[in-house]
Amino acid sequence: MTVFTRRAIKDILENPFLNGVTIITISLSVLIVSAFGLFMLNAQDMFNTWKKGIRIMVYLMPETTADQRLDTHRRLEAISGIQHIHYISKDQALKLMKQRMPRQASLFDNLSENPLPDAFEITLNGESSSPEKIEFLAQRIEGLPSVAQVEYGQQWIERFANFFNLFKLAGFGMGAMFFMATVFIAANTIRLVLYSRREEIQIMRLVGATDRFIKIPYYLEGLIQGLCGGLIGLIILYAAFSAIGSHFQQSLSAEMVSIRFFPLQICAFIIGGGMATGLLGSFFSLKQFMRV
């Protein structure tokens, strides 16, 4: 295997332009697809964090008595998926509104009575934070006695979830497209190297070299190209992440959201994907060339 590796490295060094084009193509593909994946990873983390902070507001009917309110509270406690229940009286709600709208204080001066209803603010546990489960809980709560209305920003959650799924689907499509394009370029590069060495390969065949002996160095060449391209793309992405990520982290610190780079397992998978791209390029070019 050492002999094959030396031959592969020798071929790469003797054809620096062609192999350099392949390595750059692989690195650019890895960079673009990985950048998209890194964005999706952090967007998913942010979405999960925001879902944990989702509150369901349960507004009670205007004429709800204290006993009815306590009964509703007990019924809410019996529903699985609810982590915490906080009662907000209409007086507390009006006070909070005045604090949050200090510039519109004149609007509250002319009120003859408090128009706000009593309400329960409900916090969900992590297992009930998916849009489907939130919708199911909201419908169940809305059917309770004395409950007038339930709000939880369902339109925002549904739109973001749909957008996120569409974005994820586009990412898979883009990744597949770049993968096929990179394999095609790698295959053509290896094919050009093979044609430049066709006389040498013919001589090796005449002296009894097997196809396996001829192919292995080029397979290794594709693996080395993919390894170099994957490493270069990942290093560039990490450098950009380190330079830009700190600015985003400062703006997101108030929201208790942090951004992160790929874990080592995903980094290894990305480099392995680059190596697989180079290997497939070598495989397809050798498959066609060896038939000649």
Return the higher-pLDDT residue of 238 and 115. Answer: 238
> Alpha carbon of 133 to those of 121, 130, 233, 265: distances in Å?
17, 5, 40, 31
The amino acid occupying position 43 is A
What whole-number distance in Å separates Cα of residue 13 and Cα of residue 19? 8
Per-residue model confidence as pLDDT tens digits over 88-132: 887 887 777 777 666 665 666 666 677 778 888 888 776 666 667
| Of 129, 139, 119, nearest in space to 82 by CA | 129
As to burial, measured by CB atoms within 10 angstroms (0-12 exposed, 13-18 middle, 19+ buried), residue 40 is: middle
CA 72 to chain centre: 40
Q: What is the mean pLDDT of the chain?
A: 78
Residue 55 is classified by DSSP as: E
- Roughly how many angstroms between the first and final C-alpha of the chain, as a whole number? 26
User: Which pLDDT score is estimated for 268?
Assistant: 93
Return the higher-pLDDT residue of 153 and 220. Answer: 220
The two tokens of residue 82 are 């609810």
Per-residue model confidence as pLDDT tens digits over 47-86: 776 666 567 888 888 888 888 888 888 888 888 878 888 8
Q: What is the mean pLDDT of residues 230-237?
A: 93
User: Which pLDDT score is estimated for 46?
Assistant: 75
pLDDT at 245 over 50: yes
pLDDT at 232 over 50: yes
User: Which pLDDT score is estimated for 122?
Assistant: 85
For the chain, the structural domain boundaries read: 2-50+163-289, 55-152
Residue 282 is classified by DSSP as: H
* DSSP 3-state percent helix, strand, coil across the chain (nearest 5): 75, 10, 15
What whole-number distance in Å separates Cα of residue 223 and Cα of residue 210? 21
Half-sphere exposure of 238 (CA within 13 A, CB side): 12
Whole-prediction pTM: 0.65
User: Which pLDDT score is estimated for 76?
Assistant: 86
pLDDT at 254 over 50: no
Q: What is the mean pLDDT of residues 185-191?
A: 77
Are 42 and 259 a contacting pair, CB within 8 Å?
yes
Percent of the chain with pLDDT over 70: 79
**Beta-carbon count within 10 A of 62 CB:** 11
User: Hey, what CATH topology would domain 55-152 get?
Assistant: Alpha-Beta Plaits (3.30.70)
pLDDT at 231 over 90: yes
User: Which pLDDT score is estimated for 269?
Assistant: 92
| Beta-bridge partner residues of 150 | 58
User: Which pLDDT score is estimated for 250?
Assistant: 54
Say whether 262 sits in a helix, a strand or coil.
Answer: coil
Per-residue model confidence as pLDDT tens digits over 131-172: 677 778 888 888 888 888 888 765 566 677 777 778 778 878
Weakest-pLDDT range from 23-37, 152-166, 184-198: 152-166
Are 236 and 34 a contacting pair, CB within 8 Å?
no
The amino acid occupying position 101 is M
What's the farthest any 2 CA atoms get from each other in the chain? 105
